[in-house]
Structure 1
Amino acid sequence: MRYGNILTPEGWRLGELHWQDGRISRIDGEAVDPQHNDLPRLLPGFIDLHVHGGGGADVMQGGTALATVAATHVRFGTTSLLATTMTAGDDETRRVLGDIGHYLASPDESASRVLGVHLEGPYINPGKLGAQPPHARPGVIQEIEALCELAPIELLTLAPELAGHLTLIEQLSERGVRVQLGHTLGSYEEGVAALEHGACGFTHLFNAMSGLHHRAPGMVGAAMAHAEYAELIPDLLHVHPGAMRAALRCIPHLYAVTDSTAAAGMPDGEYRLGEHAVTKCLGGVRLADGTLAGSTLTMDQALRNLVGLGLTLAEASDRLSRFPAEFLGRHDLGRLEAGAHADLVELDSRLNLLNVHVGGRLVAEGESRVTDA
């Protein structure tokens, strides 16, 4: 049981949150404005659908790396995540997905839930790699189905303009794999066509995609004009606050991701991102040529950044919990209500993280702290 200001789907309640066997059993209390007291704020656990690494480990290392990543991010309030790959050759991709599948068969219950895989590439445009290694190529459904046998692919990023990809989007959608558009030079029209064929989101909006121009709206324009969902990295480095505000007005269910690397939760220094060496310095992660290469962002800092932009705490919480859960069709996550998993974060009145529960289990606790991300 936890007591405090509880954010429910119906609004804030001051009272007690109870759970049994890992699920919320009931919430007792009355409506409240949490700004009128200094009691803890209880929010749904954060859900990060774009995680490459953390704690010095990179998902593409395979082996025990994912266990380190999940144990690192839970310390910052992420109670569920998607293990996100980098563009790689077929053999390496199969090896990594096999290791992810092995981890999912016996996960660490004191870490973030790993909900499956976000396959970011290799089905992207070689002209818009960003920090992705140069192994981009068009995709075929048989190859992806074989990968799905190794680990559950919940989300796949591709460039819709590549040959055969509109058909591929339809095939993936029929199989329950959500498709996001990213690392793309596609036009506005190609973005709209992809949405019509079943694509349902955009990967790290604004980054690694054709930009918005008033006579060539590009992939950003397709997202701003038509998207219900898109992910965005709110680290204040990847996207200017003004662009973030525009996207928040245009895309009803814009949700936050970290795009975090092995450098998340770690001091400045050299780390791996797939086959690339990257450097963490001044709060960012870059390749040797200065290209942004993922982030050091953690979800508790993402929450504070969104509130700093002017969102209410409830609005910011939706974009870190409820919206990504709904995007995956997981109504048992991302909300504090009877029947949902007892995944929650506890914050003080300054929005510093106090405690983290996964399935009712206390997995992280301590004094208020602010990350260096």
Structure 2
Amino acid sequence: MPSAIPSYSRKPTVHSKIYQFINCRLVRDGCIIKEDLWFRDGKIINPEPVFFEERVLADVTVDCHDALICPGFIDIQINGGFGYDFSSDVDNIEEAVSSVAKGILSAGVTSFCPTIVTSPSSVYRELIPKLKKKEGGREGAGVLGIHLEGPFISPEKKGAHPLQFIQGVEEGVSKVNDVYGQLDNVAMVTIAPELAGVADVIAYLASQGVVVSVGHSNGNLEDGEEAVNSGASFITHLFNAMLPFHHRDPGLVGLLTSRLISHPVFYGIIADGIHTHPAALRIAHRTHPEGLVLVTDAMAAMGLGEGEHQIGQMKVKVEGKRAQLVGTDTLAGSIVTMDDCVRHFIHDAGVSLVEGIEAASLHPARVMGISHCKGSLDFDTDADFLFVSDKGPIKILNTFIAGECVYSAPDAPHLTFNHRKYSTEK
């Protein structure tokens, strides 16, 4: 009579390597659980069918020594870093994206959206075909698509965007196509919701699979509500470059609690201790926690020191942790990294470690419509994950993309991959 217990000593004929990380804690389903992490072919897998149906054990086991494993971070608004600016380094854009993609691995970022600020049409037409979507790996974080932050924004709330290149959309969809040239590699567009003709443009962009964000706006709540009901789903860097909250007209901030929109919105927050006051951060989170998305809005000076740098067509001076347009007091993006944003958010908003992590992983994945494959440690999602130390402020130890370790901190504990030996069953 055959045994009810399956035999696991025979190596299957066709079998991709299965990895089992043991003795670890996982951020999963909104909490921290004590459970092994299994993955194969770059995907997180459910071990039960492997055990009971395929009748095999893991090929490789790794003792994680009680490490905390969480999903990889996703940055959907980043202008550059490490001396590169995506909007002005037109001639060497591939090098710029590659360098930033590699550099942000140490901050736990496994996917990102290169962001182009308001620029001449010629810049969009040259950059958009070159900035192709790509999977991440040893060469760096994956590219989800471009975030076009302009030029269809408010001149009154331009921030670090050059006034001479800001445009309207009175001509509708034809104007958008004329300025951008194509949308093939575009994942997100920031647009001011009060512009004439904007509703049709938003509906068109959404129909093309582009995430539409409202921002750099002088519009009121009604403008925002119309935009959301036309297809917008995100707010670019809440509180910054928009009308301030007022009790008789809450502006775009009021979208967080509006009852007149067809779907809840997500909103970006730059949690660098400069762009958003801790009290404002707490207000936003307590009002609509599920919608909060951490973004860096980082520019070329990220990873470098003080001095003059570039963002798009404009010069920026960095002093301490503050980046301003030269000769003004206007903030020009940040120099913060995503892991710093998570630390600031946890400390300043008083949220849990899991809430901080999900604001940088699950929430941006939901914004981009990719939560079925990224942003969590659910079964069948991409094996993009981080080993982090939670003994004090969160610290990135290792970054994995598709199950491959692509970054290790200098002080990260050594991981030993134990390969199983198979025997022939007689």
TM exceeding 0.5: yes
Describe the shift of the 1:11–1:107 C-alpha distance in structure 2 as closer, same or farther (beyond 3 A). closer
CA apart distance, 1:285: 1.2
Partner of 1:195: helix, strand, or coil? helix
Opposite residue 335 of structure 2, the aligned amino acid is: T
CA contact (8 A) 2:173 2:200 kept: no
CA apart distance, 1:200: 0.9
CA apart distance, 1:148: 7.0
**What is the alpha-carbon distance in structure 1 between the residues aligned to residue 337 and residue 47 of structure 2?**
28
TM normalised by structure 1 equals: 0.90
Partner of 2:144: helix, strand, or coil? strand
Partner of 2:355: helix, strand, or coil? helix
| 1:203 is the counterpart of 2:203 | no
4+ runs deviating over 3 angstroms: 104-109, 142-151, 222-227
CA apart distance, 1:224: 4.6
CA contact (8 A) 2:106 2:409 kept: no
Describe the shift of the 1:239–1:56 C-alpha distance in structure 2 as closer, same or farther (beyond 3 A). same
**What is the alpha-carbon distance in structure 2 between the residues aligned to residue 108 and residue 239 of structure 1?**
33
| 1:169 is the counterpart of 2:202 | yes
| 1:267 is the counterpart of 2:305 | yes
Partner of 2:45: helix, strand, or coil? strand
Tell me what 1:34 maps to. none
| 1:326 is the counterpart of 2:359 | no
How do 1:175-324 residues align onto structure 2 when only pairs under 5 Å count?
175-225=208-258, 227-251=264-288, 252-288=290-326, 289-308=328-347, 309-324=349-364
Partner of 2:145: helix, strand, or coil? strand
CA contact (8 A) 1:67 1:108 kept: no
How do 1:348-363 residues align onto structure 2 when only pairs under 5 Å count?
348=389, 349-350=391-392, 351-363=394-406
Tell me what 1:345 maps to. 386
CA apart distance, 1:145: 4.6
5+ unaligned residues in a row in structure 1: which ranges? 29-36
The partner residue of 1:72 within 75, 89, 103 is: 103
**What is the alpha-carbon distance in structure 1 between the residues aligned to residue 210 and residue 367 of structure 2?**
11
Larger mean Cα displacement after TM superposition, 146-155 or 121-130: 146-155
CA contact (8 A) 1:166 1:197 kept: yes
Tell me what 2:173 maps to. 141
Describe the shift of the 1:169–1:209 C-alpha distance in structure 2 as closer, same or farther (beyond 3 A). same
Tell me what 1:125 maps to. 154
**What is the alpha-carbon distance in structure 2 between the residues aligned to residue 118 and residue 48 of structure 1?**
11
CA apart distance, 1:347: 1.0
* TM-superposition CA deviations, 1:37-80 (whole Å, max 9, x none): 98321110001100100111111113221111111112210101
Larger mean Cα displacement after TM superposition, 191-200 or 229-238: 191-200
CA contact (8 A) 1:352 1:368 kept: no
CA contact (8 A) 2:111 2:136 kept: no
| 1:94 is the counterpart of 2:125 | yes
Larger mean Cα displacement after TM superposition, 238-247 or 250-259: 250-259
**What is the alpha-carbon distance in structure 1 between the residues aligned to residue 28 and residue 343 of structure 2?**
19
Opposite residue 66 of structure 1, the aligned amino acid is: V
Aligned identity (percent) is: 33
The partner residue of 1:5 within 20, 25, 33 is: 25
Aligned residues: 359
**What is the alpha-carbon distance in structure 1 between the residues aligned to residue 34 and residue 198 of structure 2?**
50
5+ unaligned residues in a row in structure 2: which ranges? 1-19, 49-63, 413-426
Tell me what 2:421 maps to. none
CA apart distance, 1:222: 3.2
Larger mean Cα displacement after TM superposition, 302-311 or 104-113: 104-113
TM normalised by structure 2 equals: 0.80
**What is the alpha-carbon distance in structure 1 between the residues aligned to residue 196 and residue 411 of structure 2?**
51
Larger mean Cα displacement after TM superposition, 213-222 or 351-360: 213-222
**What is the alpha-carbon distance in structure 2 between the residues aligned to residue 12 and residue 200 of structure 1?**
29
CA apart distance, 1:353: 1.1
**What is the alpha-carbon distance in structure 2 between the residues aligned to residue 87 and residue 334 of structure 1?**
29
Opposite residue 152 of structure 2, the aligned amino acid is: Y
Partner of 2:302: helix, strand, or coil? coil
Opposite residue 7 of structure 1, the aligned amino acid is: V
* TM-superposition CA deviations, 1:178-230 (whole Å, max 9, x none): 11110000011111111121111110000000111112222222345365311
Partner of 1:294: helix, strand, or coil? coil
Tell me what 1:32 maps to. none
Describe the shift of the 1:105–1:231 C-alpha distance in structure 2 as closer, same or farther (beyond 3 A). closer
* TM-superposition CA deviations, 1:239-263 (whole Å, max 9, x none): 1111111111222311110001111
